[in-house]
A = this chain, B = another copy of it.
Amino acid sequence: MVMKASNTTERVIQHLRTVAATQMPGSRLPSVRHLMREFAAGPGTIQRALDHLVHEGLIEAHPGRGTFVAKQDDKERWQAADTAWQNVALGEGRFEPDALQAMVRLPPSQSLPLNAGYLPPALQATDLLKAATSRALRRSGYWERMPPEGMYQLRAWFAEGTGGAFDAREVTICPGTQSSLAASFRALANVGDPVLMESPTYAGAIAAARAAGLRPVPVPIDGMGVRPDFLADAFRTTGARLFYCQPTFANPSGITLASARRQKVLDLLGEFGAFLIEDDWARDFQFEPPPPPLATDDRNGHVIYVRSLTKCAAPGLRIGAICARGPALGRLRAARLTDDFFVPGLLQEIAFELVSAPNWVRHLRALRGALRARRDGMVAALNKHLGPCELAKIPDGGLHLWVRLPDGMSDVEVVRRCVRADILVGAGRDWFPADPPAPHLRVSFAAIVPEDADQAVSRLASVIAEIQDVSVGVVHSA
């Protein structure tokens, strides 16, 4: 049975799958009427989702009585299978998928997603992608093998975006930033090696570094970015040869490396013979022009530059690039080749058609305007409702705000209570490579239109006040 799943159908399916996975076999599922209200969907959409899950064997429909979590054959099969031996064979794990899973998961439609790492559908380049796909399909050869380093024209486009730091021959196309980071950590360091990271930093980078067997070492930042004195100390004491860094609109702090510090950071790379992975994920989300990539000031191949199209186009256009020179370029290409040979030609053609379209620049301009308005709305709401919380910095770009919680408050507790209040927000601890020095939330403004910001933050403020009331007299604000 072929089901044409709409986006909403897929959301309902995903929601019910989570419900079925967490409830006992035989539990009653929400009614069709309830789901219609929760997902603002018609009865047909809900019914398609239910039919799908019945077909899948995950739920059982008893007409007149409702739908129920199925007594799963598979659960039985898994219980019958004795896979306990695997625990011994697998041993200790290196993978920490929880924070990543939260990033990738589609939010249930009734929640206010203050945790969005991607553009919401309304801001995605949907129409441009449609047109780009039509043009790409008129080309030929995209089902053939591609060069492992990627289509030349697309590499040339990424090279142009580096402000002259790299040319097309130094660019390698990857299926998105996560894959660029995973390949870079594997290619540029060995298991057990330390890797320096700003603290806080991107949770996906921490997970990729750990999966590669590296040991993340936190280097504190302040309002001007990474602190060079601590960076020097960390290079000296750990012998690290690798520093993962977001010099521009860092996720989650929103901070940009100050001009005064750029040369000092580059000098340290030279002094310690080290690589810096520059993750420039947010350059397209600039509200004020940021400094050029750090890579433009690098002569001798210290800076590996990572950029993505996925963030500013749509989550499903998984196209990014790694730029490097010297032996590191060969090492990175070999790692990418071993990982998955090459990025599918069709996606590369679509990406190239997308960024070559005259409307692409207009899309980016409109996008920046919309995001800036959302940032302003969220900042105003935070100032209004969250007196005792501290906003580290109002960022000039990116998708997130980094909010300090009162000392002693559990970020995880806030996040858990927020879920009950239909708000999704990120617990700050996921963004620290080691011990969180203080509780924080990552509040994304990307998916919250300005009109909704007040409501979202007032709900968040209630949750925080609720926790404070309980522990009054024990917790002091920062």
Closest CB in chain B relative to A461 CB, distance in Å:
29
Q: Does A105 contact B (CB under 8 A)?
A: yes
> If A273-B85, A346-B346 touch, does A340 touch B300 (CB 8 Å cutoff)?
no
> Do residues B168 and A143 form an inter-chain contact, with CB atoms below 8 A?
no
> Do residues A339 and B339 form an inter-chain contact, with CB atoms below 8 A?
yes
> If A89-B241, A176-B340, A335-B95 touch, does A83 touch B301 (CB 8 Å cutoff)?
yes
CA distance A147 to B327 in the complex (A): 36
> Do residues A146 and B316 form an inter-chain contact, with CB atoms below 8 A?
yes
**Which residues of chain B are within 8 angstroms of A451 by Cβ–Cβ distance?**
none
> If A145-B118, A345-B316 touch, does A83 touch B176 (CB 8 Å cutoff)?
no
Q: Does A137 contact B (CB under 8 A)?
A: yes
> Do residues B90 and A179 form an inter-chain contact, with CB atoms below 8 A?
no
Interface-central residue, A93, A207, A339, A356, by most chain B CB under 10 Å: A339
| Chain A 72-115 per-residue mask, 1 if CB under 8 angstroms from chain B, else 0 | 01100010111101111111011111001101111000000000
Interface-central residue, A56, A144, A299, by most chain B CB under 10 Å: A144
> If A169-B74, A346-B347 touch, does A145 touch B89 (CB 8 Å cutoff)?
no
| Chain A 316-336 per-residue mask, 1 if CB under 8 angstroms from chain B, else 0 | 111000000111100101110
> If A95-B187, A186-B211, A338-B97 touch, does A141 touch B344 (CB 8 Å cutoff)?
no
CA distance A315 to B142 in the complex (A): 9
Closest residue to A186 on the B side, CB-wise?
A: B211
> Do residues A341 and B178 form an inter-chain contact, with CB atoms below 8 A?
yes
**Which residues of chain B are within 8 angstroms of A344 by Cβ–Cβ distance?**
175, 316-318, 344, 347
**Which residues of chain B are within 8 angstroms of A7 by Cβ–Cβ distance?**
140-141, 144
**Which residues of chain B are within 8 angstroms of A226 by Cβ–Cβ distance?**
none
The residue from B2, B5, B96, B314 contacting A143, defined by CB atoms under 8 A apart: B314
**Which residues of chain B are within 8 angstroms of A346 by Cβ–Cβ distance?**
133, 316, 346-347
> Do residues A339 and B182 form an inter-chain contact, with CB atoms below 8 A?
yes
Closest CB in chain B relative to A265 CB, distance in Å:
16
The residue from B80, B188, B317, B326 contacting A83, defined by CB atoms under 8 A apart: B326
Closest residue to A142 on the B side, CB-wise?
A: B316
Name the interface residues of A232-277: CB closer than 8 Å to any CB of B.
241, 270, 273-275
> Do residues B327 and A95 form an inter-chain contact, with CB atoms below 8 A?
no
The residue from B93, B101, B301 contacting A81, defined by CB atoms under 8 A apart: B301
Q: Does A123 contact B (CB under 8 A)?
A: no
**Which residues of chain B are within 8 angstroms of A31 by Cβ–Cβ distance?**
none
Q: Does A148 contact B (CB under 8 A)?
A: yes
Closest residue to A193 on the B side, CB-wise?
A: B91
CA distance A341 to B56 in the complex (A): 24
CA distance A462 to B142 in the complex (A): 37
Name the interface residues of A122-151: CB closer than 8 Å to any CB of B.
124, 126, 129, 133, 137-148
Q: Does A4 contact B (CB under 8 A)?
A: yes
Q: Does A190 contact B (CB under 8 A)?
A: yes
Residues of A at the B interface (CB closer than 8 Å) are 2-7, 10, 13-14, 52, 56, 73-74, 78, 80-83, 85-91, 93-97, 100-101, 103-106, 118, 121, 124, 126, 129, 133, 137-148, 152-153, 156, 167-170, 175-176, 178-179, 182, 186-188, 190-191, 204, 207-208, 211, 213, 241, 270, 273-275, 299-301, 313-318, 325-328, 331, 333-335, 337-342, 344-347, 356
Give me 16 A-to-B residue pairs in the complex whose CB atoms sit less than 8 angstroms apart, sorted by A's number.
Answer: A4-B138, A7-B141, A56-B168, A78-B326, A81-B325, A86-B327, A86-B328, A94-B190, A105-B145, A121-B144, A133-B137, A142-B316, A176-B340, A182-B339, A318-B341, A339-B339
